[in-house]
Amino acid sequence: MRSLPRDLLSHRELLWILIQRNLKIRYKNSVLGFFWTLLGPIFLILIYWAFIRLLKIQISINALITGIIVWQFVAMSLGDSLNSILGNANLVTKTAFPRFLLPLSTVCANSINYLLTFAVLLVFLFFRHAEPYALYFLPLILLTQFALCLGLSLLVSSLNVLFRDVEHLMSVMLLAWFFLSPVMYTNAYVTDTLAARTQLSEATDVIESPADQARITENTAKILRTCCLTNLVAQTELSDASEVTESLADQTQITENTAKILHACYLANPMAGIVTSYRSVLLSEDVLPIGMFVAPFLLSWAILFIGLGVFSRLEQRFGDEL
Amino acid sequence: MSGAGSTTHAINVQDLGKKFLLQSRGESTLKSLTLDWITGRRKAREEFWALRDVSFSVQPGETLGIVGANGAGKSTLLALLAGTKQPTTGSVETHGKISSLLELGAGFHPELTGRENVYLAGAIMGLSRARMADRFESIVEFAELNEFIDQPVKHYSSGMYVRLGFAVAVEVDPDILLLDEVLAVGDVSFQRKCLERIGEFRDEGKTMLIISHDLETIKKVSHRILFLEKGGVQGLGEPEAIVDAYDSRSRSLQSVGLRREWGSGEILIKNVEIHDRNRSPCESFRFGEKLTADIAFEAKERIVSPVFGFSISDSEGRLLYGNNTQLEDFEIPFVEGCRTLRLHIGELRMARGIYLLSFSVHSADHKTNYHRLDHHSTITVTADAAFEGCYMPLQWEMDPRDAG
């Protein structure tokens, strides 16, 4: 991997051809072809717009659409990555070239799609009079999201060669991740939920001594899970979210400190940080102190390096396993 | 891989080994791996060394032919040199740009057109589009694909596929060219064209490694030949000598498969030694030379009127000639204990080739086979004349009556 920049430079032509091929295959046999890149998000926006009005979810349409489009890039990149290596077995077994170009080209092709979709989103937000805020952070956010996608793509594509289970695990993990990330809800919603519980616990004054901390950590996982479930319930049963929160709050008691830790844990999910940062920057919604984004952003880049490390170890075996 | 070493070798292979794990229970899944790990059955997968302790080097400008039976490790070696597989042990060092055509595949994508695949192949080699465009015409011309170049390669015939693969591999101007069984495909005219191009390539001072089962051709194009057997180097050197060694080795291996020994055992043929006219043990004879076979046998009891026989078969075990003591009126009243019977063939009038000798001893009425050694010894016959089978003294004559 030390020669990565050199490989990239000497094989830039190949990368470009692979990206083109990825894009071509996606729109093969479709009449509208590349227009789907634009039509896709437009339909998405229309559907969710209708959906949100019907369901009365407590999230602005701008925030929801932003979340969905940001999430789509990650989900599609990962879905395509499953077959980055397997689908090119012919190439991998017969020719020698830097293998990381395959997942890289998958993510790049998806990035091109994403940027076009993103343009549609910007136009949409412009007409919705969204107010951007600190827009100069946008390139960093985009780049970090790319790093996250590439890192995961490297992991998924190489692991899937050795263990075909990855394919089955992926759809489950993606679904779980979707609900763990603030796509259909906002980070503020999570904060509010936690705050509601904090108030309750302060009122009842249950937890005072540090000895009780152990109980709190035990609760941590439970609470995080319930956070997401709350959302699910809220969306599917059209029930008033705050009502659910209150009823749940009765069962859990936490201090302000715990709430902070929990929220940090929640934001450590790179996608929680990334989606929220997009919303902060594009919509001035869900704004958080900049320090809150350090952990998820660093983690995204860490995942890229982990991905590169794992990939370079596993790629030795591609020729034998395919 | 292509470090800047001080050596002048184009390719340097040191103690190269490649181990494969044979999977007995289908694909590896997390479940199977976890189960193996828990039950401690990690060694359940059988190991197979496709290559072991292989060392050799190739000078720049040298053409190295590689011969060996199927499964000897030829293709694995080329895959390791090309970099599509990674060695388990040892090292592969190469200097220069490598182009390869491995196992009838060029890594073409079936859905892409010939043109797109040409550019893809160039990009894989790290060539710019502009450089590829310069070579495009000559590639298409060489591959004789003019009207098909914009068709998806999935519609190509295997001949067209290989032609394009070869054309691309050669025209990207590599320093080292690796070819696996390319000469076996395509029609005769294309094969000739390939050989011409390989010759040009050789003359340009490029390095080549060629795998082929076509021994005559590989002998002609190679400077040296590497003979692989069961993953190890069996020989490396002058084409003529190595091909001969490989040839006789593969034939003798084949004859081993034909060998059979059976009989009731009252008389046992303990040993048969084949000698030339100087009475020294010999396996290869010239046409018309004298051959002697010493048949050492042991009769456990007194056996009356045994008949000893021998026969000559071709390398595939087809009977060409047979004779015995009875037919030649050589009376053996009885045998008992250890003796040696000697067979003299004054003139071995066989066509050039490999022959298998069988020996037998049976009762006079042919009802009891005491001992038979089928296809026991292998001999090689060289001859200047290219007749077939056994030579018989003969004359040709044109009937004079029809004339005029």
Query: What per-residue confidence (pLDDT) applies to B397?
Result: 86
Q: CA dist B172 to A119, B63, B99, B136, Å?
A: 41, 18, 8, 10
Beta bridge partners of B180: B211
With a cut of 60, say whether residue A218 has pLDDT above it.
Answer: no
Please report how many Cα atoms fall inside a 13 Å half-sphere around the Cα of residue B186, on the Cβ side. 22
Tell me which CATH code domain B11-28+44-252 carries.
Answer: 3.40.50.300
- The per-residue pLDDT for range A233-266, each reduced to its tens digit, is 444 444 444 554 555 555 556 677 888 888 888 8
Q: What is the mean pLDDT of residues B72-80?
A: 91
Instruction: Give pLDDT, residue B66.
Output: 94
**DSSP strand pairing (B89-94 vs B334-345):** unpaired
Per-residue pLDDT of B146-189, as tens digits, reads 889 999 988 988 888 888 988 898 888 899 999 988 777 667 88
Portions of chain B given CATH number 3.40.50.300: 11-28+44-252
**Percentages (nearest 5) of helix, strand, coil residues in chain B:** 30, 35, 35
List the one residue out of A160, A107, A156, A167 whose CA is nearest residue A318.
A160
Residue in the block written with tokens 């040892």:
B90
- CB of B172 closer than 8 Å to CB of B99: yes
The whole-chain average pLDDT of chain B stands at: 86
Range with the lowest mean pLDDT among A188-197, B65-74, B345-354?
Answer: A188-197
**Tens-digit pLDDT profile for residues A149-180:** 999 999 999 999 988 889 889 999 999 999 99
Q: Is B262-382 a CATH 3.40.50.300 domain?
A: no
Q: How many residues does chain B have?
A: 404
Q: What is the pLDDT of residue B129?
A: 87
Beta bridge partners of B338: B298
Helices (H), chain A: 4-10, 12-26, 35-55, 61-81, 89-94, 101-127, 138-162, 165-180, 187-204, 213-236, 241-251, 256-268, 270-283, 294-314, 318-321
As to burial, measured by CB atoms within 10 angstroms (0-12 exposed, 13-18 middle, 19+ buried), residue B256 is exposed
Q: What is the mean pLDDT of residues A89-111?
A: 92
How confident is the model over B190-239, as pLDDT tens digits?
888 888 888 898 899 899 999 988 888 888 889 999 999 889 998 999 99
Interchain CB contacts (distance < 8 Å): A and B: 78
Is residue A274 over pLDDT 90? yes
Domain ranges of chain A: 4-181+300-321, 189-268
How large is the average pLDDT for residues A49-74?
A: 85
Sheet containing B224-229, strands listed edge to edge, beginning at the edge strand earlier in sequence: B98-101, B176-180, B207-211, B63-67, B224-229, B232-237
How many residues belong to chain A? 322
Task: Report chain A residues whose CB lies below 8 A from the CB of B180.
Answer: none
**Percent of chain B whose pLDDT exceeds 90:** 37
Backbone angles phi, psi at A304, to 5 degrees: -60, -45
- Nearest chain A alpha carbon to B113: A21
CB contact under 8 Å between A163 and B30, yes or no, is yes
Judged by CB atoms closer than 8 Å, whether chains meet at B27 and A164 is answered as: yes
Residue A214 pLDDT more than 80? no
Inter-chain residue contact A97 with B124, CB threshold 8 Å: yes
- Edge-first strand order for the sheet with B291-304 is B267-275, B291-304, B334-345
Q: Nearest C-alpha of chain B: how many angstroms from A10?
A: 6
Using alpha carbons, select from A63, A99, A291 the residue that is nearest to residue A181.
Answer: A63
Chain A CB contacts of B103 below 8 Å: 94
Res A199 pLDDT > 50: yes
Q: Which chain A residues contact residue B174 at CB under 8 A?
A: none
- B186, B162 in Cβ contact below 8 A? yes
Res B42 pLDDT > 80: no
Query: Per CB distance under 8 Å, which residues of A are interface residues toward B?
Result: 10-11, 13-14, 16-17, 21, 25, 28, 90-97, 162-165, 316-317, 319-320
User: Looking at beta carbons, which residues of chain B come within 8 Å of A97?
Assistant: 124, 126
In chain B, CATH 2.70.50.60 sits at 262-382
Is the predicted pLDDT of residue B359 greater than 90, yes or no?
yes
- The pLDDT, as a whole number, for residue A258 is 83
Taking CA atoms, what residue in A is nearest to B98?
A96
Q: Which of A27-36, A208-217, A300-309, B281-290 has the lowest mean pLDDT?
A: A208-217
Q: Residue A149: which of A119, A184, A108 has the closest Cα?
A: A108
**Residue B49 contacts A where some CB pair is shorter than 8 Å:** no
* Chain-chain contact of A17 with B86 (C-beta, under 8 angstroms): no
Dihedral sign, Cα of residue A184, residue A188, residue A190, residue A196: negative
B3 touches chain A (CB under 8 A): no
* Residues of B with Cβ-Cβ distance to A16 under 8 angstroms: 123
pLDDT at A223 > cutoff 80: no
On chain A, the residues whose CB falls within 8 A of the CB of B120 are: 14, 17, 21
Q: Label the pairing between strands B334-345 and B353-363.
A: unpaired
| Contact state of A25 with B111 under an 8 Å Cβ cutoff | yes
Residue A312, classified by CB atoms within 10 Å of its CB into exposed (0-12), middle (13-18) or buried (19+), is middle
- Whether ipTM tops 0.85, in short, is no
What pTM did the predictor assign? 0.72
Q: Which residue has the higher pLDDT, A302 or A56?
A: A302
Query: Cβ atoms within 10 A of the Cβ of B184, count?
Result: 14
- Quote the CA–CA distance of A240 and A248 in Å, as a whole number: 13
Taking the CA of residue B202 and the nearest CA in chain A, the distance in Å comes to: 23
Q: What is the pLDDT of residue B145?
A: 87
Average pLDDT over residues B393-403: 83
Torsion sign (Cα): B1, B2, B6, B10: positive
> Span B323-335, mean pLDDT?
92
Give the pairing type, strands B353-363 and B369-382: antiparallel
